[in-house]
Structure 1
Amino acid sequence: MPRSVGNAAARDTETKPDDALPSVDVDLDNEAQEAEGDGAIREARLWQDDGWTAQVIKNEDDEGWAVSMTLDGEPEPSLVGPWTMGRDKKNPKPMDASAFQVLVKTASEVRRRHEQHMHAMLHKNVDVDHESGRIRVTLDIVPDEYEPHAILRAFDVYNDLLAEVTVEPDYKLNVRGAEKWIADGYARPQRA
């Protein structure tokens, strides 16, 4: 009788082939996790997602690690900063989702501030009180590689264009210069 019980147990294991068990592929050496369908790369030292690439690199200045954040399509990183060492004090800490999101937010803020600074450098304006009313004078610098120039414009209180001339890209706009330009009948300012 015990023999039939043993045979029943043997028959039970024979009826469950190995391929009926769920397959789990675990690769402990490769921490890469590629998101399905969106092309995101999530490795310990390289993350690509949401139009950004974070890459943990060896810091050339010292023995530590750094992380660079590059917007897709840009040749240079928007942000480069120190990166945390791992527990072994030799290798970098692996990138994770929360660290990546913080880096995206920080790099986006750095880009936004840079764009605001560039806009302020390239677009200036002053207001001048004139007998005909307030006149707004603007200077828009065009940093063209071959023919850099600037456009000087005057607008009335209704934002109607009164005058427009092309000037040198290093033209310094100030209230006194704008008043002189208006007094001269909007003639192209002479280079000093």
Structure 2
Amino acid sequence: MSVNTLINDDVSEEFPEDANDKCIQEPRLWSDKGWTARVIKNEDDEGWAVAMIKDGEPEPALVGPWTMGRDKKNPKPLDGTAFRTLVKTASEVLRRHEQALHATLHRSLFLNLADADFRVNLDIVPDEDNPYALLSAFDAANVELAQVRVSAGFKFNKASATAWIENEFRNPE
């Protein structure tokens, strides 16, 4: 059984839908302000792990090792300081994932051509059935000059953007 299955099964049994607003502070379970920290047995070894789950999300944002207690058998209990640190770390992980996704789906180039300056954007729309991208051109005053729909795999670079502009914004595919 995977850690994610273990976490999700345990959480669904103990937290009915209407209980998400409760503040819980137990040695192995803390829940507050949209986050749940759960200390779980690490099945791969004899240690413990902590999983941080944002309310409403199916998977943990962060799973990491957890400190053993003094008896070297049981986990150290969660406390307020540890919970706040875990929330901050998990939030940063989610923010980095969002930034990476945004960088993958939205790209821009600035072109200085002989007669004008342009900004060309490629915005990928990750539709499950029919992904596509929008290729857009803007002038120096940030006025949109053209927009065409292209395949999600469109090769976006300085040469393709320049060719599109020089071809009077006709669909490049």
Tell me which interval the TM-score lies in, with the shorter structure as reference length: 0.7 to 0.9
Q: Which residue does the alignment assign to 2:118? A: 135
Q: Does 1:78 align with 2:80?
A: no
TM-score norm. by structure 1 comes to: 0.78
Provide the rounded CA distance (Å) in 1 between the counterparts of 2:22 and 2:61: 22
Provide the rounded CA distance (Å) in 2 between the counterparts of 1:109 and 1:172: 31
Q: What's the Cα RMSD here?
A: 0.9
Q: Does 1:42 align with 2:37?
A: no
Provide the rounded CA distance (Å) in 2 between the counterparts of 1:172 and 1:67: 42
- Provide the identity percentage: 60
| Letter of the 1:189 counterpart | P
| 3-state secondary structure, aligned to 2:118 | strand
Q: Deviations over 1:4-57 (max 9, x none)?
A: xxxxxxxxxxxxxxxxxxxxxxxxxxxxxxxxxx62011111110010000001
Q: Which residue does the alignment assign to 1:160? A: 143
CA contact (8 A) 1:181 1:189 kept: yes
How much does 1:128 deviate?
1.1
Q: Which residue does the alignment assign to 1:183? A: 166
Q: Does 1:89 align with 2:75?
A: no
How many residues were matched structurally?
153
Q: Which residue does the alignment assign to 1:106? A: 89
CA contact (8 A) 1:125 1:173 kept: no
TM-score norm. by structure 2 comes to: 0.86
Q: Deviations over 1:103-153 (max 9, x none)?
A: 000001111111111110000010111233110000000001112110000
Q: Which has the higher contact order (CA 8 A, sep 6+)?
A: 2
What are structure 1's unaligned runs of at least 5 residues?
Answer: 1-37
What are structure 2's unaligned runs of at least 5 residues?
Answer: 1-20
CA contact (8 A) 1:153 1:163 kept: yes
**2:131 aligned to 130, 148, 153, which one?**
148
**1:173 aligned to 145, 156, 161, which one?**
156
Q: Which structure's CA Rg is the greater one?
A: 1
Q: Which residue does the alignment assign to 2:12? A: none
CA contact (8 A) 1:52 1:72 kept: yes
Aligned pairs for 1:48-59 (under 5 A) are 48-59=31-42
CA contact (8 A) 1:123 1:140 kept: yes
